[in-house]
Amino acid sequence: MQPFYAAPGRMTTPGRYGALFDGLPSGVGALAEVAQGLIVHEFLTQRYGFELSGERRETVHVRPVEEMLDRIAVEDSRPLTSAREPDARFVGDCRHFTVLTVAMLRAQGTQARARCGFGDYFGSGWFEDHWVCEYWDDDAGRWLLADAQLDGMQQRLFGIGFDTVDVPRDRFAVAGKAWAEYRAGQVDPANYGLSAIKESGDWWIAANLVRDVAALNNMEMLPWDVWGAMPKPGEPIGDDSLALFDRLAALTADPDFPQAQLAEMYEGDDRLRVPGTVFNAARGRSEDIA
C-alpha cells in the first residue's frame, strides 16, 4: 500500500488529465520549474510585464488540480514542460504552485503534502500568509520544505539567499509552529498575516492552523476558505478554541507528526473537517466544494 502522502487526494488528483504527467522530469526542483512555467501569481503580474484583467483573476478560486489542468490544457495543448508566456499562464497564488507540485510529486511516488503557514522572506518584515510543499527526501532522511513559487525573478526580487527546495524552518513557519510560539510568548501575532491588506493577529494564525490540518488530511483549501473552528477577524478566541488550537499545534508543528492520530482527530471533529460548503471570504459567499 502506498504511504498516505504518496497517493493523490481529492484536490491533488490529475483525474482525466493524468496523462499530462507522463514524461515530466523527476525531482522537486525540476517539477517546481514546471509549475512556474504554468502559473503566474495574481499579485505579481506586473513584474512579468502585463496587467491582469478581473476576468482572468477568477481562476484563483479554482480548488482541484484536475480543474487547473483543464484550464491549462484548454489554453495550450503543449506538454506541461513547455513553459507558457507569463501572460498566458494560469493565474493563481502560492497555494496553486504548491498543490500542483504536490500532485506531480505524488504521481512519481514521492511523499509530498501542502503546508499552510507563514514566510518571512518577502521583504515586508512580516511573516506573510503563504503555502509551501513539504516532501520526503530519501537522501536527507527527513521532510524538507520547497517553495515552488519562487522562480528566478522572484528570488532576485525578494533577495532569496537560501535553497528554495530546502527552505529553512525558521524562514517558513508552519501554522502549528507559529501558534505554539505565539502561545509561548515568543512571537508577536501582529506580525503574522498579510501586510498588503494590513491584517494580522492570533485569529489569522488560528485560521491557517485549521487550513493546515485540512491540507494534512488531503483537503487543500483556498487561503480564504472559511469553515468550522476558524475565528472571525479580530474575534477573541475562547478557552475551548484555545485548547483545540494548542492540541493541533502540538500535533503538527513537527514534520514527523503522528498522521493517523491527526486523521482521527480531523475526521471526528466537525469544527475541523471540511464541510460540503465553505465560505469564500474573498468572494463573500458560500460555495460548494467541487
Beta carbons within 8 Å of 31's beta carbon, 6+ residues apart: 24, 25, 101, 104, 105, 108, 148
Strands 90-92 and 39-41 turn out to be parallel
Say if residues 175 and 246 touch (Cβ distance below 8 Å). no
pTM: 0.97
**H or E stretch including 209?**
helix 202-215
The yes-or-no verdict on residue 290 having pLDDT over 90 is no
Over the range 245-277, which residues count as b (16 or more CB within 10 Å of their CB) and which as e? Answer: beebbebbbebebebeebeebbeeeeebbbeee
pLDDT-above-70 percentage for the chain: 99
Mean pLDDT, range 198-204, rounded to an integer: 97
Residue 151 C-beta-side C-alpha neighbours within 13 Å: 18
Give residue 1's pLDDT. 60
Centre a 10 Å sphere on the Cβ of residue 11 and count the other Cβ atoms it contains: 25
Mean pLDDT, range 261-282, rounded to an integer: 97
The structural domains of the chain, with segments of one domain joined by +, span: 4-288
What tens digit of pLDDT does each residue of 202-254 get? 999 999 999 999 999 999 999 999 999 999 998 999 999 999 999 999 999 99
Give residue 55's pLDDT. 83
Backbone φ, ψ for residue 153 (5° rounding): -60, -45
Centre a 10 Å sphere on the Cβ of residue 16 and count the other Cβ atoms it contains: 11
What tens digit of pLDDT does each residue of 66-125 get? 999 999 999 999 999 999 999 999 999 999 999 999 999 999 999 999 999 999 999 999
